[in-house]
């Protein structure tokens, strides 16, 4: 079965562009086949702006994202296999999809097939009330 990840990525990309947001991807820079500028990698990851105003998008399909972008004024070709992409989101509000770091071809195993939940009595929240003042703290200025 085909992974849903590339379809979801294209949907978030389109949503961000249509709403005037800047679509960005978080990439595992150490992933197999990843081609990104090494100077911009932080903790093995890189965040890339993939908006149509920032890059010349070549491919965004079920296998990869490939585009050209400028880094420090130098145009570079970027290649991102779908498996290396950890998230796609809008820079302005961080809304998007953050993918789990796992193979997309396998179904996630539930941690506990029959989760149990501890039931407790509802807790009533006490609201803090300030004591009422007899006189106003405001002064009339003429």
What pLDDT, in 10s, does the model give residues 71-102? 888 999 999 999 999 999 999 999 999 998 64
pTM beyond 0.85, yes or no: no
What was the pLDDT predicted at 127? 42
Burial of residue 108, with CB atoms counted within 10 A of its CB: 0-12 exposed, 13-18 middle, 19 or more buried: exposed
Q: Are strands 96-98 and 85-90 parallel, antiparallel or unpaired?
A: antiparallel
List, for residues 3-53, the tens digit of each pLDDT value: 999 999 999 999 999 999 999 999 999 999 999 999 999 999 999 999 999
What was the pLDDT predicted at 115? 42
**Domain boundaries of the chain, sorted by first residue:** 5-94
5-94 CATH fold: SH3 type barrels. (2.30.30)
List, for residues 125-139, the tens digit of each pLDDT value: 444 444 455 666 566
Q: Is pLDDT above 90 for 124? A: no
Higher local confidence (pLDDT), 131 or 110: 131
CB 60 within 8 A of CB 9: yes
Q: Rg of the chain's alpha carbons, rounded to an integer?
A: 24
Out of 2-6, 33-37, 53-57, 64-68, least confident range: 53-57
**Token digits of residue 73:** 């004024």
């Amino acid at each position: 079965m085909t992974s849903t990840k590339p379809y979801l990525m294209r949907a978030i990309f389109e949503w961000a562009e249509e709403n005037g947001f800047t679509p960005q991807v978080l990439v595992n820079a150490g992933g197999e086949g990843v081609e990104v500028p090494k100077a911009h990698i932080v903790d093995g990851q890189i965040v890339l702006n993939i908006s149509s105003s920032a890059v010349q998008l070549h491919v965004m399909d079920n296998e990869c994202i490939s585009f050209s972008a400028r880094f420090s004024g130098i145009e570079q070709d970027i290649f991102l296999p779908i498996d290396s992409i950890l998230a796609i989101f809008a820079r302005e509000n961080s809304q998007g999809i953050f993918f789990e770091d796992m193979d997309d071809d396998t179904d996630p195993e539930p941690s506990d097939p029959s989760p149990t939940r501890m039931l407790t009595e509802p807790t009533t929240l006490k609201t803090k009330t300030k004591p009422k003042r007899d006189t106003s703290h405001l002064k009339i200025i003429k």
